[in-house]
Amino acid sequence: MQYGESMNSIKKIYYPEIFQGKYKKKNYFEGWYFKNIDKAKENALAVIPGVSFGKRNDDAYCFIQILNKSDDKTYYIKFNINEFKYNENHFEIEIGNNYFSAEKMRLDICNDDVCIKGILRFDNILQIKKTTFRPGIMGPFSFIPFMECYHGIVNIHHEIKGRIEYNGKVIDFDKGYGYIEKDWGRSFPSSWIWVQSNHFYKEDATVMFSIAKIPFMKKCFTGFISFLRVKDTIYYFATYTNAKIKKLDILDNKLDLIISDKDYIFELHAENSSGGLLKAPQKGEMVRQIYESIDAKVRVILKDKKGKLLFEGEGTNAGMEVMCNKDEFSNL
């Protein structure tokens, strides 16, 4: 891996996809989420490379998590922190013999629990356009230091070429779709909901919604970020865009959401499905367990304020996490 000159902290804000934790030694995590779906939508594989720094210097290590839809099995493989390498100028990391970037993923893991090898290449990549006040999906919140957790979108959508051998079975991902995002900071929020899909039946579209309880200045507020991409157009709905949540109901693994801003009414209806347990960070240590599905279903509706239908579509192979009680976000 080639290394360039270091980027200063301001520049790193505008490149949230790259490794942010160069000078972190304690109570810090950083992880990237790769979701890979084959053309037939029968195989879904989530791969999460990352680093964990606990309370002591000797707590540091890097890891790769794997969630496979076909059997809902999850794997957590730890590596010595010295096996983690990164490029300082663009998103490119290595963990042992495994490689990850916005354009490619190479897996080479074989132990007593799992054997997974192969190379996937990503083409026709769509990414969020950066602006002065929106360097990433967090918008102006990207500039606030010392937040508990930051979120970034690497690839909104891409096409996949390649195959993965998973425990003796070859999975062909040619002409499949993928998505990449990331998180970094001290801890995941105490409560959150996250939904993402870029597999719609009729339209070329991507949707992502996330809401969380966010500690800030010894207090706590509820914040959300969301976008809907329909072909080349992206609609943003977030706390920082002055969008308002008009309805958020959780019941029997179903989410019903309505968001409104000055121009649009955005609805998202999601139904959770089977999944697996993943590890999540608490003060940098990967000690929490969260349940995630990569086989949920979503229905999205977008209208203008006059009631004109702009988009309606149903998506599959959605990632979905509901880490809150049903009344957590009811009083928004």
Lowest mean pLDDT among 124-128, 155-159, 325-329: 325-329
Q: What pLDDT, on the 0 to 100 scale, is given for residue 7?
A: 53
pLDDT tens digits, residue range 317-327? Answer: 999 999 998 77
DSSP of 101-134: ESSEEEEEEESSS-EEEEEEEEEEEE-PPP-SS-
User: Residue 265: is its pLDDT beyond 70?
Assistant: yes
d(CA 114, CA 202): 36
Instruction: Taking residues 265-276, report their average pLDDT.
Output: 95
pLDDT tens digits, residue range 35-85? Answer: 999 999 999 999 999 999 999 878 999 999 999 988 889 999 999 999 999
pTM of the predicted model over 0.85? yes
- How confident is residue 314, by pLDDT bands cut at 50, 70 and 90? very high
Are 49 and 95 contacting, i.e. CB atoms less than 8 angstroms apart? yes
The single-letter code of the amino acid at 255 is L
- Give CA separation, 20 vs 87, 92, 187, 234, 303, in Å: 11, 12, 15, 26, 38
For strand 169-172 and strand 276-282, is the pairing parallel, antiparallel, or unpaired?
unpaired
Are 127 and 103 contacting, i.e. CB atoms less than 8 angstroms apart? no
Q: What pLDDT, on the 0 to 100 scale, is given for residue 120?
A: 98
Lowest mean pLDDT among 178-187, 189-198, 210-219, 250-259: 210-219
